[in-house]
Amino acid sequence: MNKKEYISSLREKLVTLPSNDVEEILKEFEMHFDIGVSEGKAENEIAAKLGSPEEVAQYYLGEAVPEYNPAGTEQVAAGAFPIVPIQTWLGRPNRGTTAQTIQGFCHPTYAIPPKNKAPKPEPAGDTAHQGGRAPDLSQPHPKQEWKQVELTGYEQYPSQDPNYQKPQPKTHDKAFAILFTIFVFVPVWFIALALTLLITAWPIVTGAASVTLFALMSSFSGGIFLGTLFLAIALAFAVIAHAIIAFFAIRGFILGTIAYFRWLGKSTTSAEKEA
């Protein structure tokens, strides 16, 4: 591991510390490398003597045992830092990483990095406890006694649940279908039919009136002739407008009727299947 690799690796490990502190710490390690190199040592040799970046980071992040580990191969205590939950605008951790995050934090080798960087001064008179605590690695660290959590958090995203069952379309039995058709659908349908016919008849009536006026026009004379002409033209335009309305009314009526029978057929069939 050369200087650059060592520094960047250490930077990664110290990510939880304030950036000012990290820069200060890294500056010191850079100087260490520079001095070593100026004394004719190889960068990887210096890095090996420093101990692994993981180990060094442990001293900065919390307490760890100063241990001679020149090869820099063995890691001290904690494993990889677990994935940090990303806060979404809902104020909940990002669902995609929640499971991994909780697993990470529950992992027995994970210790919370201390929030304040400066260790509290020891109480006066207690001098038997200096130079960083030495956790007994055979014992579980008190901070690491995590409860195993059963993951149930699919309320927000039920379709992601492995046991998720797609909601079945609502079904009803045949009796309901018949009664509903007779007492609701048929009356509504007849009213709709009457309205549709009325709307359709309208352009026919106005059209007929317009045509009649045009036909009678030769028998009129003077003022009446022009008045009749304009009325006939107005009625002709009304016919066009009404025809458009009538077209959509008929279309709606037909489509509505078809949709009703489709829905009725679908939902009653599945009800029969279930039964």
Closest CA to 135 of 48, 58, 50: 58
Using an 8 Å Cβ cutoff, are 111 and 62 in contact?
Answer: yes
Instruction: Tell the smallest beta-carbon distance from residue 55 to other proteins (Å).
Output: 7
Residue with smaller CB distance to other proteins, 68 or 89: 68
Of the two residues 69 and 101, which places its CB atom closer to other proteins in the complex? Answer: 69
Residue placing its CB nearer to other proteins in the complex, 116 or 159: 116
Rounded-to-integer distance, Cα 231 and Cα 218, Å = 15
Q: Provide, rounded to whole angstroms, the least separation between the CB of residue 162 and other proteins.
A: 45
Q: How far is the CB of 118 from other proteins (least distance, A)?
A: 4
Termini Cα distance of the chain: 71
35 or 182, CB closer to other proteins?
Answer: 35
Site of interaction with other proteins (CB under 8 A): 25, 28-29, 31-32, 34-36, 38, 46, 49-51, 55-56, 59-60, 65-70, 72, 117-119, 121, 127-128, 130-134
Secondary structure of 101-161 in HEC code, one letter for each residue: HHHHHHCCCCCCCCCCCCCCCCCCCCCCCCCCCCCCCCCCCHHHCCCCCCCCCCCCCHHHC
d(CA 230, CA 248): 28
What is the smallest separation between the CB atom of 26 and other proteins, expressed in angstroms? 10
Q: 């304030």: which residue's tokens?
A: 18
The smaller minimum CB distance to other proteins, of residues 71 and 188, is found at: 71
Closest contact distance (angstroms) between CB of 127 and other proteins is 5
CA angle 85, 88, 90 (to 5 degrees): 125
139 Rama class: left (phi>0) / alpha (psi -120 to 50) / beta:
beta
Q: Which helix (H) or strand (E) holds 21?
A: helix 19-38
Of the pair 121, 142, the CB lying nearest other proteins is at 121
Nearer to other proteins, 74 or 161 (CB): 74
Residue carrying structure tokens 């107005």 = 234
Angle at 200 between CA 197 and CA 205, to 5 degrees: 110
Q: Rounded to the nearest whole angstrom, what is the least distance from the CB of residue 51 to other proteins in the complex?
A: 3
- Residue 174 structure tokens: 């045949």
